[in-house]
Amino acid sequence: MTLNLRPVSEAEWPDWIMVDEEAYATPIPPHRNDLYRGTAELDRSLGVFDGDLLVGTAAVCSFTMTVPGGPIPVAGVTAISVLPSHRRRGILSSLMTRQLSDLHEKGEAVAALYASEAAIYGRFGYGRATDSLTFRIPTASAAFAPHAPVDPALRLRIARPAEERPLLEKIFDAVLERRPGMYARTPARWNMVLTDHSADQHGAGPLRAVVVEDGSGPRGYALFRIRPGFDDHDIPNGELRVRELFALDPAAYALLWRHLLDRDLVSHVTAGGRPSDDPLIHLLAEPRRLGALWSDELWVRVVDVERALPARRYAAPVDVVIEVEDTLCPWNARRWRLTAGPSGAVCIPTGDPADLTLPVSALGAAYLGGRGLMPLSAAGVVRESREGAARELSAAMRWDPAPWAGLLF
C-alpha cells in the first residue's frame, strides 16, 4: 500500500500517542498525555500513513532560544518516531526531509533536537552542539573550597513549587539570555516542569523547592525530590534528586548547592543534565566527588546558512569563505563569505575560492559556541584550503558560557 505523508489532525492525536509509545517502548500515563498535548503544535506536525494507520511522526515546537548574542526563533524538533513494523521503508528520511523543507519555507534558519540515538541525526545534517553532565555526589565528601562565595545577606526559604510559580518564572526569565541553548518556557512547558503526579515521583516523593532571597527579593531556586531510605545497619542513605537549579549570582548559586548537599538523612545527591561548565565543578574542594558522567545534549541543524550565520554574534573578527556541503538542503550547498565580529555579521554567496570546506553538521555543532572546529579539522571533517582558516572561524564562533538547554523537549 502507498505511504502518505501529511499533517496530523486533532482527531488523530490518540494514534499519535500510540506510535510514540510503541516506538519509544515507554507508556505515557493519562496525565502526561494531557501535558504533552498542551505543548504539541499539531499544525506543525507530520505523519506518515499506511492506509488509515499512522506509522511515523515528526513535530516542531516553536521556540525562542538564546544563541550567542541574544534570542532567535528556533524550531525544536521532537516526536520523531516510526512504528517497528514499518522500519527500513524510508519513512524517517521522508519525514526529516519534508520537515527541513517546511522549516525553510517558513523562514526558520535553525533547528535543534534531543537525540534518542546519537547515530541517527548526523545523517540529516544535525551536529552535536551541547554537552551535559550527570552528578552523583556523596554528601559526606562534599566539602566546599575555601574560595566558595558567601553572602551573609542571603537567606533560604522552603517553598511549595506550585505556589511559587510566578517567582520561579521570574528567576528563570532573568537567567534565560545568559546561556546559549536555553529557550523560553510557555505556560504549558512550565506545567510539565512542575507536574507532581505520583507517576512522576518514581519513589522519590513530592516535588520540593527551596528559594534563596535577600532584601531585594528572590535570587535563585532549586527544585528537587528526596527518596528516603536506610541501609541494613539503620544508617540513613536517602537520595536527593535535583530537578533544576538556577540563580542570579554566584553566592546564591553556592548557597543553594550547600543546602542540597547538607540535607539531613541524605547520603547522595544526584543531578542529571547539568551544563558542561557547571560552576559546581569549581565550588567543591574535591571535584572528583562529583562522579560526573558526560553525555551529548542538543543537536543543532543550520537550515538556512544565509540567515543563520548573521543571526548570532561572534567573539572575534573573522573573514572567511566557507564551502558548505548539504545534500538535503541544496540552497545551502555553495560557497559563502562570512564577515563577522562582536558587533555583527554578514553572510553572502560568493564565487571566491573556499578557505575551508565542511558539512552542514559541522556548522550546527559549532553554532551555539560550545564546539570548536579544530577537533573536527583533526578528524578530517573540516578541510582547510587556506592554512589557519579553521582556527580563525573556530575562535570567532566559540562563546562563554557553554551552551546548554537544560530541559528536554
CATH of the domain at 55: 3.40.630.30
Q: Where a domain ends, among 260, 294, 328?
A: 294
Decide if 183 is catalytic.
no
Per-residue burial over 212-232, b if 16 or more Cβ lie within 10 Å, else e, is bbeeeebbbbbbbbbbeeeee
Do 327 and 215 lie in a common domain?
Answer: no
**Is 386 annotated to bind ligand?**
no
Is residue 113 domain-resident?
no
Do 229 and 369 lie in a common domain?
Answer: no
User: Vertex 98, ends 26 and 328: CA angle to 5°?
Assistant: 110
Is residue 119 domain-resident?
no
Do 185 and 249 lie in a common domain?
Answer: yes
In this structure, the strands spanning 217-227 and 383-384 are unpaired
- Catalytic: which of 49, 121, 135, 221? 121
Q: At what angle do helices 30-39 and 187-194 cross, to 10 degrees?
A: 150
User: Vertex 217, ends 214 and 222: CA angle to 5°?
Assistant: 80
Q: What is the pLDDT of residue 2?
A: 84
Is 106 exposed, middle or buried (CB count within 10 Å of its CB: 0-12, 13-18, 19+)? middle
Do 373 and 274 lie in a common domain?
Answer: no
Q: What is the CATH number of the domain that holds 309?
A: 3.30.1050.10
**Is 55 annotated to bind ligand?**
no
Q: What is the pLDDT of residue 1?
A: 59
- CA-to-CA distance for 118 and 213, rounded, in angstroms? 40
Q: What is the pLDDT of residue 333?
A: 98
Query: 371 lies in which domain range?
Result: 305-397
Q: Could you give the C-alpha distances from 111 to 259, 282, 407, in angstroms and in order? A: 37, 32, 16
Decide if 63 is catalytic.
no
Do 185 and 97 lie in a common domain?
Answer: no
User: Could you give the count of Cα atoms lying within 13 Å of 221 in the half-sphere of its Cβ?
Assistant: 27
Q: What is the pLDDT of residue 307?
A: 98
**Long-range interactions of 371-376: CB distance < 8 A, separation 24+:** 371/127, 371/128, 371/129, 372/398, 373/397
**In total, how many domains does the chain have?**
3
Do 370 and 276 touch, CB atoms closer than 8 A?
yes
**Is 67 annotated to bind ligand?**
no
**Is 82 annotated to bind ligand?**
yes
Question: How many CB atoms sit inside 10 A of residue 85's CB?
Answer: 10
Do 284 and 178 lie in a common domain?
Answer: yes
**Using the 8-state DSSP alphabet, how is residue 230 labeled?**
B
Do 353 and 321 touch, CB atoms closer than 8 A?
yes
**Is 295 annotated to bind ligand?**
no
Is 349 exposed, middle or buried (CB count within 10 Å of its CB: 0-12, 13-18, 19+)? exposed
For the question of whether the overall pTM of this predicted structure is more than 0.85, the answer is yes
- CA-to-CA distance for 229 and 237, rounded, in angstroms? 5
**Most distant CA pair in the chain: distance in Å?**
75
Is residue 150 domain-resident?
yes
Do 136 and 279 lie in a common domain?
Answer: yes
Q: What is the pLDDT of residue 118?
A: 86
Do 98 and 53 lie in a common domain?
Answer: yes
**Is 361 annotated to bind ligand?**
no
**Is 80 annotated to bind ligand?**
yes
Per-residue pLDDT of the chain (409 residues; tens, 9 = 90+): 589 999 999 999 999 999 999 999 999 999 999 999 999 999 999 999 999 999 999 999 999 999 999 999 999 999 999 999 999 999 999 999 999 999 999 999 999 999 998 889 999 999 999 999 999 999 999 999 999 999 999 999 999 999 999 999 999 999 999 999 999 999 999 999 999 999 899 989 999 999 999 999 999 999 999 999 998 899 999 999 999 999 999 999 999 999 999 999 999 999 999 999 999 999 999 999 999 999 999 999 999 999 999 999 999 999 999 999 999 999 999 999 999 999 999 999 999 999 999 999 999 999 999 999 999 999 999 999 999 999 999 999 999 999 999 999 9
**Is 281 annotated to bind ligand?**
no
Residue 112: which of 69, 64, 56 has the closest Cα?
Answer: 64
* Per-residue model confidence as pLDDT tens digits over 246-269: 999 999 999 999 999 999 999 999
Do 172 and 189 touch, CB atoms closer than 8 A?
no
**Is 348 annotated to bind ligand?**
no
